[in-house]
Amino acid sequence: RSFASQTDGESRLARVLREKFPQASAIKVVDISGGCGAMYEIHIESEEFREKRTVQQHQMVNQALSEEIKHMHGLRIFTSAPKP
Alpha helix (H) residue ranges in the chain = 8-20, 54-64, 66-69
Decide if 45 contacts 26 (C-beta within 8 A).
yes
Span 1-8, average pLDDT: 65
The model carries a pTM of 0.88
Which CATH number fits the domain that encloses residue 56?
Answer: 3.30.300.90
Helix 54-64 vs helix 8-20: crossing angle, to nearest 10:
120
Boundaries of domain holding 50: 6-78
> Could you read off the pLDDT of 16-65 as tens digits, one per residue?
999 999 999 999 999 999 878 899 999 999 999 999 999 999 999 999 99
In a domain, 72, yes or no: yes
- Give the bridge partners for 30, in sequence order: 41
